[in-house]
């Protein structure tokens, strides 16, 4: 390849660039057809630029553009990330961290063939996820249960099954929008149900519901205010009161818990998140929630409730479009086993991270500073972490962070650590870069130390 490209015929062929020894390591990062497409696009853009401006192009610049594009493509692949943001259920980082013990336990069941829909007792076709559904119902204290691919699908399926072309009554203060632009009113409409808003943004009373219940009403829907709080002059109707109202009018109450949780959270988080069991005991006919948020599993929509209603939901033709595969069923099954055996504080990664005391985090932070050589401008300070995933965003969890003084240039440091392999993702507060230790497991500390050493020289 010529050192300088001045004419169109000076450009090397795509295959020549793919064979270039200086690019070989970068070409190998992605599938070869993708690498070829990248090279073609960059060469085509360079030719167009040359035709337009007539400026000389150095071959090294062309190679650099190809390298950078290949690296950028590679970095879009899913990879392990060290979460120093202080948000434990981080939607952009895969929500709840999956426990290695659960992953190892399911490897043997998902590799090769499995009895996902085969009854080993009878030697014939069986029911998909039968054990998983049984464990889920038992843990929730419900008559029946099922699993779909996410909580949005669960709510859509419930409404389409039980309220198609009929009214669904919901408080105006619960018409929430969660991450990714997902809005409760939109899914209500798409399901075929007719939305009936009652009350006001901040005040909804039992009378507001009762005034809109009639023979065209299919159900009462309650939605957990997952990602925001209301303060001041506000009032809503507790689930138990809605159930009483529903029974009076012969209507089921559906409770969308959002994150969902199986265990008391007061001692661990400092606040009481409503549990799935409480929803069932309060009389909700159907309760739905996510599998990859506060449960600590994988993406799934879990549905528990009355057997007759769950049966109708599973018979809905749409159910097949949102069902889960053997991998999800296997992981959820193992996760539920952990909860049933009361081993969640050790074997569910999310809860093992949440229960690490501040004193231990300080100890880990001081150990990190020692291995870094006690560099000037890096300190261990008290920080605030959050559960995330739509669980009471204003309820902070006391935490500890590795804090870098302003002299380190927070923006540049943050980018450099993201470029590390594996990437380290932190946050910026008051122009200082912070790596919060709450979501960082002990196995990741050595990686963090190496990444920081590399970027503070």
In terms of CATH architecture, what is 82-94+353-455? Alpha-Beta Complex (3.90)
Closest-CA residue to 156 (of 128, 192, 196, 181): 192
Who's near 20: CB < 8 A, 6+ residues apart?
Answer: 1, 12, 63
Q: Please, which pLDDT band fits residue 201 given cuts at 50, 70 and 90? A: confident
Q: Contact, 184 vs 170, CB < 8 A? A: yes
Task: Classify strands 144-148 and 301-305 as parallel, antiparallel or unpaired.
Answer: antiparallel
pLDDT reading at 152 higher than 70:
yes
Q: Contact, 287 vs 319, CB < 8 A? A: no
Query: Per-residue pLDDT tens for 395-420?
Result: 789 999 999 999 999 999 999 999 99
Q: Contact, 437 vs 364, CB < 8 A? A: yes
Cα–Cα distance for residue pair 146/137, rounded to 1 Å: 8
Residue 329 burial (CB count, 10 A): 25
Is 100-347 CATH 3.40.640.10? yes
Cα–Cα distance for residue pair 84/435, rounded to 1 Å: 5
Cα–Cα distance for residue pair 192/12, rounded to 1 Å: 58
Closest-CA residue to 85 (of 439, 411, 378, 416): 439
Query: Per-residue pLDDT tens for 290-343?
Result: 999 999 999 999 999 999 999 999 999 999 999 999 999 999 999 999 999 999
List C-alpha distances in Å: 235 to 22, 147, 198, 270. Answer: 66, 33, 13, 22
How much is the average pLDDT of 223-239?
Answer: 71
pLDDT reading at 226 higher than 70:
no
User: What is the per-residue pLDDT for 224?
Assistant: 87
Block residue for tokens 């691919």: 149
Q: Nearest 5°: CA angle at 369, between 368 and 375?
A: 145
Q: Contact, 96 vs 89, CB < 8 A? A: yes
* Rg for the chain, CA atoms, rounded: 27
User: What is the per-residue pLDDT for 316?
Assistant: 97
| Assessment of whether the complete model's pTM goes beyond 0.85 | yes
User: What is the per-residue pLDDT for 178?
Assistant: 63
What are the residue boundaries of the structural domains of the chain, listed by start? 4-74, 82-94+353-455, 100-347
Backbone angles phi, psi at 5, to 5 degrees: -110, 115
List C-alpha distances in Å: 381 to 2, 258, 299, 402, 403. Answer: 55, 33, 34, 7, 7
Would the CATH topology of 82-94+353-455 be identical to that of 100-347? no
pLDDT reading at 164 higher than 70:
yes
Helix (H, G, I), strand (E, B) or coil at 3: coil
Query: Per-residue pLDDT tens for 118-135?
Result: 999 999 999 999 999 999
Cα–Cα distance for residue pair 157/193, rounded to 1 Å: 11
- In 230-273, where do the E strands start and end? 253-258
User: What is the per-residue pLDDT for 15?
Assistant: 94
- Could you please report the per-residue DSSP string of 334-380? HHHHHHHTT-HHHHSHHHHHHT--HHHHHHHHHHHHHHHT--TTEEE
Lowest mean pLDDT among 56-65, 218-227, 291-300: 218-227
User: What is the per-residue pLDDT for 83?
Assistant: 97
Cα–Cα distance for residue pair 383/402, rounded to 1 Å: 9
Who's near 196: CB < 8 A, 6+ residues apart?
Answer: 167, 168, 169, 170, 212, 217
User: Helices (H), strands (E): how many in the chain?
Assistant: 19, 20
């Amino acid at each position: 390849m010529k050192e300088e490209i001045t004419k169109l015929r000076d450009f090397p062929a795509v295959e020549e660039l793919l064979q270039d020894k200086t690019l070989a390591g970068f070409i190998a990062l992605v599938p070869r057809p993708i690498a070829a497409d990248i090279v073609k696009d960059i060469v085509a853009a360079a030719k167009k630029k040359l035709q337009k401006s007539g400026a000389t192009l150095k071959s090294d610049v062309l190679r650099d553009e190809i390298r950078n594009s290949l690296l950028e493509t590679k970095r879009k692949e899913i990879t392990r990330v060290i979460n120093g943001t202080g948000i434990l259920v981080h939607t952009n980082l895969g929500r709840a961290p999956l426990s290695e013990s659960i992953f190892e336990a399911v490897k043997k069941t998902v590799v090769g063939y499995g009895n996902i829909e085969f009854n080993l007792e009878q030697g014939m076709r069986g029911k998909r996820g039968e054990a998983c559904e049984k464990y889920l119902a038992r843990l929730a204290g419900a008559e029946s249960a099922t699993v779909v691919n996410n909580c949005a699908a669960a709510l859509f399926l419930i409404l389409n099954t039980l309220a198609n072309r009929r009214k669904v009554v919901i408080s105006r203060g619960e018409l929430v929008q969660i991450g990714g632009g997902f809005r409760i009113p939109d899914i209500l409409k798409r399901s075929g149900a007719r939305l009936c808003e009652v009350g006001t943004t901040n005040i909804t009373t039992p009378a507001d519901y009762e005034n809109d219940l009639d023979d065209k009403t299919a159900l009462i829907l309650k939605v957990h205010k997952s990602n925001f709080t209301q303060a001041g002059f506000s009032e809503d109707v507790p689930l138990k009161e809605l159930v009483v109202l529903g029974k009076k009018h012969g209507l089921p109450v559906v409770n969308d818990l959002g994150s969902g949780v199986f265990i008391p959270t007061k001692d661990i988080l400092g606040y009481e998140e409503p549990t799935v069991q409480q929803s069932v005991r309060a009389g909700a006919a159907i309760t739905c929630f996510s599998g990859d948020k506060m449960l600590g599993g994988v993406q799934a929509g879990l549905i528990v409730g009355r057997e007759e209603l769950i049966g109708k939901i599973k018979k809905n033709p749409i159910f097949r479009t949102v069902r889960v595969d053997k991998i999800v069923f296997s992981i959820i099954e193992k996760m539920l086993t952990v909860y049933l055996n009361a081993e969640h504080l050790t074997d569910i990664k999310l809860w093992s991270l949440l229960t690490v005391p501040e004193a231990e985090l300080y100890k880990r932070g001081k150990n990190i500073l020692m291995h870094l050589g006690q560099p000037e401008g890096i300190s261990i300070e008290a920080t605030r972490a959050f559960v995330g995933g739509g669980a009471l965003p204003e309820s902070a969890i006391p935490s500890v962070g590795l804090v870098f003084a302003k002299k380190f240039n927070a923006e540049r440091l943050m980018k450099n650590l993201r470029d590390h392999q594996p990437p380290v993702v932190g946050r910026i507060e008051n122009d200082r870069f912070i790596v919060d230790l709450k979501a960082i497991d002990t196995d990741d500390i050595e990686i963090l130390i190496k990444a920081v050493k590399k970027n503070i020289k």
